[in-house]
Chain A
Amino acid sequence: MKSSRNVMTFAGGIHPHGDGKSLTCYTPVQNAPLLDKYFVILAQNAGKPPIPVVKKGDRVKKYQLLAAADGAVSANLHSPTSGIVSNIRDIQGTHGVPTSAIEISADGLDEADSPFAPIPDWRHADVDILKQRVIEAGIVGMGGASFPTHVKLSPPEGKSVDTLILNGAECEPYLTADHRLMQEFPEKVIRGAAILGRILNIGNIFVGVEINKLDAIAALEHYAGDYGVKIAYLRVRYPQGSEKQLINAITGRTVRSGTLPMDSGCIVQNVATCAALDDAVTLGIPSVERIVTVTGEVVVKPGNFKLKIGTPALEAVRFAGGITEEPGKLVFGGPMMGFAQRSFQVPVCKNTSGILLIPQKQAYNFESSGCIHCGRCVQGCPMNLVPCLLSTAIEAGRFDLAAENHIMDCMECGSCAYVCPDHRPLIQNVRHAKAELRKQMNASKEK
C-alpha cells in the first residue's frame, strides 16, 4: 500500500469502540447445508410486495419465479431451492408484524432451472436488455433499504448522473459480510460495477472502502484497472456508509435537504447488490442468496455464511455452531441500525446483512432522566441536526417544531444516541415523530 494515499471522510459521526469485526472478518465465507424448509417473505423490497404466481402444492425448481413484481417500485421473487410450495401464509416478519410468506419444502435435489440465460457479452449487449435483466432478476438494494435497483437505474428526464459510487464502507460494527465479499469475490463486485456503469453510461466509477479492510482493498485493486473502476479510501468512521456521507466524502458534493443523490449527479449502490447483478448477467441466476454475517459474543463459531433467502434465523445460528448462553437480543442487521426481532423463526431476506446475537449483559436497560444540553449529539450528528432539541420538542408533543427543525432529514443512524451520556432514547423519539408527521400528512391529504 502506498503511504501517501488520500483518505476521505465527512464531518460529524462517531467511532464505535470495540467494533466486533475481528470475530468474523478472518474466516472465509462458508456454504450453508440445505434445509428442509424455507420461508420466503413476499415483502422483501421497499414499495409494493410482489404477487405470488405459484399456489399451494405446486412443484418449483430452484430460481423459478415465485412472485411477480406489482408495479414499478416492486421486485420479482425467486425460489431459493427446488421442492414443493407447502403453504402460503402469514409468518413473523422482520418488522415484528406478521407478513405473508411462501413456505417451500425442499426435495433435497436443489435442481436449478433459471428463467433466463447468461449474457456473457455484456460489454456489447443492448442497454435495455441489461436493464430488463435487473428487473427480471429481482435485484434490490442489499445494504439494508432494499429499494428495487432498477428504479435507481432510470434517472428521470433532465437529471444528469455522472458518478457511480459503490458502497463498500460497511461502517456498521460487527458486520463483515461486504468485507468478505470484496475480499473473496472481488471480480464479481468490480464487474457488477462495470455493468452498472454501462447501463447508466457512466465512466466515473468509485468503490468506497474503509481503510480497516486493507486486504479487501488489495483484492479489489487487482481487478479495478481492468474494468476502469477507481478505489476510494475512506476513513474508519460511522456512518461512513450512509449514501449522503459517502457522496460528500468521495466527490465533495452535498446532497441538499429534500433532494435525492441523483440531484447531485450521483448514484450509490451497495457492493453486494453489484455482485448479485453480476450473477444475474454473467451467470444468468436471480437473486436468491446472500452473504450473511452470523455473529455475536455468544455465538460458538461466528462467521459469514452464504444463506438462501428464507433461511430462519434459528438455522443460521445453528450453522454457526449454536450459542454458549441465552442471548439478550436478536438483531437483524448491525447493532447501530439493525432491527430487534421477536422470534428466532424470522427468515433471512434480501437485505439481511447480519444476524447479531447480543449477550444479556450488553442488552441491559438504561435509565434516562433529562437532557443536560451537553451538545455531544450535535457534534455527532452527520446531518448537522440538533438531536437534543428535536427530542425535547417531541417529548412535549411539538411535532410541528421537530418538522421545522428538519427532522425528516434524520436517517436514524444512531450516532446521537450512541454518544448521549444520559442514554436518552433519541432515535425512538425521531421514529415516533416521523410516524406522527406522516399520519398528519395523510390525514390532511384525505381532507
Chain B
Amino acid sequence: MTFYTALVIMGLLGLTLGAIVGVFVKLFKVEQDNRVELALELLPGANCGGCGRAGCADFARALAAGEVTPGNCPVSSVEQRAAIAMALGIDAGPIEMQQAVVCCRADIGAEEMNYNGVQDCNAANLVAGGPTTCRYGCLGLGSCARVCPFGAIEIVGRVAVVHPELCTGCKQCAKVCPRNVIKMVPANANIHIYCNSPEKAAIKRSLCAAGCIGCRKCEKLLPGKIKFDGMLAQIDYDSPDAITQEDIEKCNCPVHGIMSEKERYAVAKNAASGGKRA
C-alpha cells in the first residue's frame, strides 16, 4: 500500500512541476537568433578588437543586428567576408583588404637625439616633442610592434617595418602610434612613398636626408598615379592604373622615397647592419 501511495504522490508532483515548467517556457520564451552563432563561427576568431568592438562575439551580434558589415572586420579575408554576407543574407558592403605601412625612412635619413628614457613611443613623444629631429617620423621604440596581435611589425634598426604577408589590416598599430606615421593602404598595393612630413622642403631637408622634398617630378612623370598633399607626394591608391617598378625607375626620385615593400625592408636591414646612409 505504502508503495502505491508514494508512487501516486511522486507521479502527481512530477506532473504538476512539469506543467509549471511547460507554462513558463511558453511564457518567457527567448527568441534565439542562430545567425549570431553562425557569424561567430565564420569570423576569424582573433579577438583583436580591430573592429572597435569587444571581441568577435560582440562583432557577430552587431553583424546579425545589421549595425556593421562584414568588411568592418579588418582581419577577415575577402572570401570570409563574402561567406558571412551570404550565410547571414546581408549586404557585404566594402570588402577590400587593407594593410599597414610605416611611411618613414628615419633610419637612413634623420639624426637621432640622445634619449635614454622609457622605451615606449607614446612616453618618448612627450619629452620635448620626441627624440628624433623630424616631428612626423617613426620613433622606432616599438609601441606598434608590441600591440600587433599578429607579430607583423619588426623594428629594424631605428624604424618599424611592416611585413605585408603577416599584416591583416586590423589598425591596432595605427591607433597606438603617437606620430600617425602608420598609414592604412589597400593590401594589394606593393609600392609606397616613405615619408610622412608635411613640412616645407627646406626645413625637411635640414632634418632628414630621406624626406620627400616636394619637387613634383613624380607627379609630372606619372600623372594620375601620384597626387600631392601640400608638400608631400602620395600614391593614388584609387587609381585604376597601378604604379609599377618601371614607373619608379622612370621617375628616379631624387631622395629614392618611392619603393616597393621588398626594397624598403632590404634598405632598412642594410642600414641597421651599418650600411650606407642616404
A contact residues vs B (CB 8 Å cutoff) = 95-98, 339-342, 363, 365-366, 395, 425, 428-429, 431-432, 435-436
User: B180: CB under 8 A from chain A?
Assistant: no
Q: Is the CB of B122 within 8 A of A339?
A: no
Q: Is the CB of B126 within 8 A of A425?
A: no
* Bound-complex Cα distance A130 to B18 (A): 86
User: B32: CB under 8 A from chain A?
Assistant: no
Q: Is the CB of B118 within 8 A of A428?
A: yes
Q: Which of B114, B127, B130 contacts A365 (CB 8 A)?
A: B114
* Bound-complex Cα distance A10 to B65 (A): 60
Tell me the count of chain B residues lying within 8 A, CB to CB, of chain A.
Answer: 14
Interface residues of B in 99-126 (CB under 8 A from A): 113-114, 116-118, 120, 122-123, 126
Specify which chain A residues have a CB less than 8 angstroms from the CB of B122 in the assembled complex. Answer: 432, 435-436
Q: Is the CB of A96 within 8 A of B116?
A: no
User: B35: CB under 8 A from chain A?
Assistant: no
From A328, which residue of chain B is reached at the shortest CB distance?
A: B114
Q: Is the CB of B129 within 8 A of A97?
A: yes
A-B contact pairs, 10 of them (CB 8 A): A98-B135, A340-B127, A341-B128, A342-B128, A428-B117, A428-B123, A429-B123, A432-B122, A432-B123, A436-B122
* Bound-complex Cα distance A366 to B115 (A): 10
Q: Is the CB of B117 within 8 A of A339?
A: no
Q: Is the CB of B129 within 8 A of A342?
A: yes
Specify which chain A residues have a CB less than 8 angstroms from the CB of B118 in the assembled complex. Answer: 395, 425, 428-429, 432
Q: Is the CB of B114 within 8 A of A432?
A: no
Given contacts A95-B128, A96-B127, A96-B130, contact A432 B116 (CB under 8 A): no
* Bound-complex Cα distance A432 to B120 (A): 9
From B114, which residue of chain A is reached at the shortest CB distance?
A: A365
Q: Is the CB of A339 within 8 A of B128?
A: yes
Specify which chain A residues have a CB less than 8 angstroms from the CB of B113 in the assembled complex. Answer: 342
Specify which chain B residues have a CB less than 8 angstroms from the CB of A429 in the assembled complex. Answer: 118, 123
* 3 smallest beta-carbon distances between A and B, as pairs: A96-B129, A96-B128, A432-B123
Q: Is the CB of B116 within 8 A of A95?
A: no
Q: Is the CB of B126 within 8 A of A432?
A: yes
Specify which chain A residues have a CB less than 8 angstroms from the CB of B135 in the assembled complex. Answer: 97-98
Q: Is the CB of B114 within 8 A of A95?
A: no
Specify which chain B residues have a CB less than 8 angstroms from the CB of A432 in the assembled complex. Answer: 118, 120, 122-123, 126
Q: Which of B116, B120, B128 has the most CB of A within 10 A?
A: B128
Specify which chain A residues have a CB less than 8 angstroms from the CB of B130 in the assembled complex. Answer: 96
From B115, which residue of chain A is reached at the shortest CB distance?
A: A365
Q: Is the CB of B128 within 8 A of A365?
A: no
* Bound-complex Cα distance A392 to B126 (A): 19
Interface residues of B in 127-177 (CB under 8 A from A): 127-130, 135
Minimum CB–CB distance from A362 to chain B (whole Å) comes to: 13
From B122, which residue of chain A is reached at the shortest CB distance?
A: A432
From A427, which residue of chain B is reached at the shortest CB distance?
A: B117
Minimum CB–CB distance from A436 to chain B (whole Å) comes to: 7
* Bound-complex Cα distance A431 to B128 (A): 12
Q: A98-B135, A342-B128, A436-B122 are in contact. List 19 more A-B contacts (CB 8 A).
A: A96-B127, A96-B128, A96-B129, A339-B128, A340-B128, A341-B128, A342-B113, A342-B129, A365-B114, A365-B116, A366-B116, A395-B118, A425-B117, A428-B127, A431-B126, A432-B120, A432-B126, A435-B122, A435-B126
Specify which chain B residues have a CB less than 8 angstroms from the CB of A395 in the assembled complex. Answer: 118
Specify which chain B residues have a CB less than 8 angstroms from the CB of A339 in the assembled complex. Answer: 128
* Bound-complex Cα distance A428 to B120 (A): 10
Minimum CB–CB distance from B143 to chain A (whole Å) comes to: 10
Specify which chain B residues have a CB less than 8 angstroms from the CB of A97 in the assembled complex. Answer: 129, 135
Specify which chain A residues have a CB less than 8 angstroms from the CB of B116 in the assembled complex. Answer: 365-366
Specify which chain B residues have a CB less than 8 angstroms from the CB of A425 in the assembled complex. Answer: 117-118
From B147, which residue of chain A is reached at the shortest CB distance?
A: A397
From A424, which residue of chain B is reached at the shortest CB distance?
A: B118
* Bound-complex Cα distance A363 to B116 (A): 11
* Bound-complex Cα distance A428 to B114 (A): 15
Given contacts A425-B117, A428-B118, contact A95 B129 (CB under 8 A): yes
* Bound-complex Cα distance A339 to B113 (A): 15
* Bound-complex Cα distance A136 to B127 (A): 34
Specify which chain B residues have a CB less than 8 angstroms from the CB of A365 in the assembled complex. Answer: 114, 116
Minimum CB–CB distance from B153 to chain A (whole Å) comes to: 17
Minimum CB–CB distance from A405 to chain B (whole Å) comes to: 18
Interface residues of B in 217-255 (CB under 8 A from A): none
From B129, which residue of chain A is reached at the shortest CB distance?
A: A96
* Bound-complex Cα distance A436 to B126 (A): 11
Minimum CB–CB distance from A391 to chain B (whole Å) comes to: 9
Specify which chain B residues have a CB less than 8 angstroms from the CB of A431 in the assembled complex. Answer: 123, 126
Minimum CB–CB distance from B178 to chain A (whole Å) comes to: 9
* Bound-complex Cα distance A423 to B113 (A): 20
Minimum CB–CB distance from A425 to chain B (whole Å) comes to: 5
Specify which chain B residues have a CB less than 8 angstroms from the CB of A342 in the assembled complex. Answer: 113, 128-129
* Bound-complex Cα distance A431 to B124 (A): 10
* Bound-complex Cα distance A341 to B130 (A): 11
Specify which chain A residues have a CB less than 8 angstroms from the CB of B117 in the assembled complex. Answer: 425, 428
